[in-house]
Copies of this chain bind each other. A is one copy, B any other.
Amino acid sequence: MLLGAIEAGGTKFICAVADKNLQLLERISLPTTTPTETLAAVFAFFEPHQLDALAIGSFGPIDVNEVSPTYGSILATPKIAWQQFDLLGTLKRHFQIPIAFTTDVNAAAFGELKRGAARGKHSCVYLTVGTGIGGGVVMNDQLLHGFSHPEMGHILVKHHPDDAFAGVCPYHGDCLEGLAAGPAIAARFQQAATTLPPEHEAWDIEAFYLAQAAVNYTLTLSPEKIIFGGGVMKQSQLYPKMRHYFNELMNGYVNTPPLDQYLVYCELGDDAGITGALLLAKETLV
C-alpha cells in the first residue's frame, strides 16, 4: 500500500510518499508559485509512485463542504493566483484514487492525535500561532467540518486589563489573531517578537490571550488536549503563564485534565501536517 500526502502551504508545498506503516519513502518541498506550475511539479514528484490514496492539508480558506458546488476549491485567499482554484478537482482528474481534503491545521490536529501529543485520545485542538493563528479540531476521532472548517484563530476576546492595543487583523482589529499573532506582538512593542526577552511583559499579555482562547475552546468543544505549534509557541516561558491565566479565567467551572498535560506544545513540530495527511490518506482505504 502506497500513501501520498500534500501539505499545501502559502509559501511551499510539501509532498510525501509512505508505506502503510507511514515509513517515508520520499519527500520534497516545492515553492508555491502558480497553480499550473506548482501542480506540475507535484505531479512529477508522485509520477514514479503507484499511489493507493492521497490526502491534502491545504492553506485556507478552502471549501470542505462536500455538498457545495465549489467543494475542493481554495476560496478568498490573498494569494490571487490561487483564488477559486479547484485544487481537489485538479488532483482528482490526475489521480483516480481516493483523496481526502482538509485544512493544513486539521491535518496537523489529526497527526498529533494519532502520532503526537494526543496519542491515545479521541479529540484535540491544534492551534498554530505564528504570522497568523490557525486552528484544527478532531472530535470523536473525526475532523471537525460543518458548513466549513474551523477559523478559530479569529475568535473575539476581551482585552488584557493593561492592553489597549487596537489589534492588527484586517477583518476584526482586535480578534485573537489581531491581538496575539506574531505581527500583533511586534506592532504592540514595535520590535520583532523573537527579540523580546522572556521576562518582557509581552509574554504575560500573550499568555492571557492564549489562555482566554483555550478557555473558550474548552467550554465549546471540551477537547482532551489543546496542542500549540508555530513560531510564537516556541517561547517556553508562555506555558506556565498561560496555565496560570487559564486557571484564573476558568475559575474551577470545568474540571479539565491537569493543565501541564492539557495545554501542551506539539510533539510532531513541522511534521504534524504531513503526518496527519498521510494518516488521512490511509483512512480513505479503511
Contacts and interface: CB of A to CB of B under 8 A. Distances in A.
Given A146-B224, A172-B249, A219 B254 contact: no
Contacts of A75: 255
A257 interface: yes
Interface centre among A142, A156, A220 (most CB of B within 10 A): A220
Contact of A219 (B154, B174, B222): B154
Contacts of A140: 140, 142, 144-145
Contacts of A217: 220
A187 interface: no
A151 B254 contact: yes
Interface in A203-238: 212, 215-217, 219-224
Contact of A151 (B151, B172, B253): B253
Contacts of A249: 156, 172
A223 B150 CA distance: 10
A204 B253 CA distance: 28
A247 to B, nearest CB: 12
A157 interface: yes
A30 interface: no
A152 interface: yes
Contacts of A254: 61, 148, 151
A216 B212 CA distance: 12
A216 B147 contact: no
Given A140-B142, A140-B144, A172-B251, 10 more contacts: A139-B139, A144-B222, A146-B223, A148-B222, A148-B254, A150-B221, A151-B254, A155-B219, A156-B215, A158-B159
21 contacts: A123-B147, A135-B220, A139-B146, A140-B140, A140-B145, A142-B142, A144-B222, A146-B222, A149-B222, A150-B222, A152-B220, A154-B219, A155-B216, A155-B220, A156-B157, A156-B158, A157-B158, A158-B174, A172-B249, A220-B221, A221-B221
